[in-house]
Amino acid sequence: MLNAGKRNVLGILMNVADYEGVVDIVARSAHERKGVAVSALAVHGVMTGVFDREQKFRLNHFDLLVPDGQPVRWVLNLLYHAGLRDRVYGPNLTLEVCARAASEGLPVYFYGSTADVLVSLRRNLETKFPGLIIAGMTPSRFRRLRPEERIDLTAQTRASGAAIVFVGLGCPRQEAFAYEFRDHLQMPILAVGAAFPFLAGISRQAPHWMQDAGLEWFFRLLSEPRRLWRRYLLLNPAYLLLVALQALGVWNFSTNGRSPTHDLLFG
């Protein structure tokens, strides 16, 4: 089990942690009814904080930011000799947490994506983990939440008996959700991105060899070029350049963000 604290990657405070370390913190916090914000970040997620000081503030106030992408893991190992043998991939983290939740009787809640995805996700998870208690599932509204809707969502989630919430709204909205709702819900909130459609069997995951080689981005770009080309063809080179500047000591990246003056709360 590994959770060796936070390290500065381009000004974003990433945790040197593995699956076991993260799952242990999530389960313990769920039993204690403690609000904990967790996100599995790939390059895109890191770069949202690099270019937006308000998002940097949110991310750097998370309890756990773990390396979802291989390039983020590689940088932690390069700059800090972290010794991470694997990334903490959002879909796999979701399965690991669900397995622990099933064994310890911790009800889980899923928020985001579409109704069709959630139906398939429920079926697949209940088949894989017969003891898993799914307290509720709410699809995204795909728009900004009104104040009264936020209050209703908080009440609905807490009344469901859930002990852990998974959020799949896409980056950076899901991180804003976890940041804003952590103290209101008083339970762990995990921002796991594309885990919902992947685990529902709706979207295809990259082959394992591509994941291990850090080429998952290329697979996803080929799958959804019109939606993702800016993310990968612009942000990936920028990430590599900035990492080189940090590694060479040319640029010291501040971890100071700016307290949000607006929200990103879509639902």
Structure tokens at 55: 């998002």
Give the pLDDT of residue 265: 58
pLDDT at position 264 over 70: no
- 242 falls within a domain: no
- Kindly indicate the confidence band of residue 266, based on its pLDDT and cuts at 50, 70 and 90: low
Q: What is the mean pLDDT of residues 206-215?
A: 83
Tell me the pLDDT tens digit for each residue of 113-141: 999 999 999 999 999 999 999 999 999 88
Residue type, 80: Y
- 187 falls within a domain: yes
Calculate helix-pair angle for 216-223, 225-247, nearest 10 degrees. 160
Residue type, 255: T
Helix and strand totals (H; E) in the chain: 12, 8
User: Cβ distance 233 to 44 under 8 Å?
Assistant: no
Domain count, the chain: 1
Domain that holds residue 71: 3-140+151-200
The answer to which of 82-86, 254-258, 263-267 has the lowest mean pLDDT is 263-267
Structure tokens at 225: 């070029």
Tell me the pLDDT tens digit for each residue of 34-83: 999 999 999 999 999 999 999 999 999 999 999 999 999 999 999 999 99
Strand partners, 190: 38, 166
- 241 falls within a domain: no
Rounding to the nearest 10 degrees, give the CA dihedral for residues 221, 227, 230, 236.
-40
- 265 falls within a domain: no
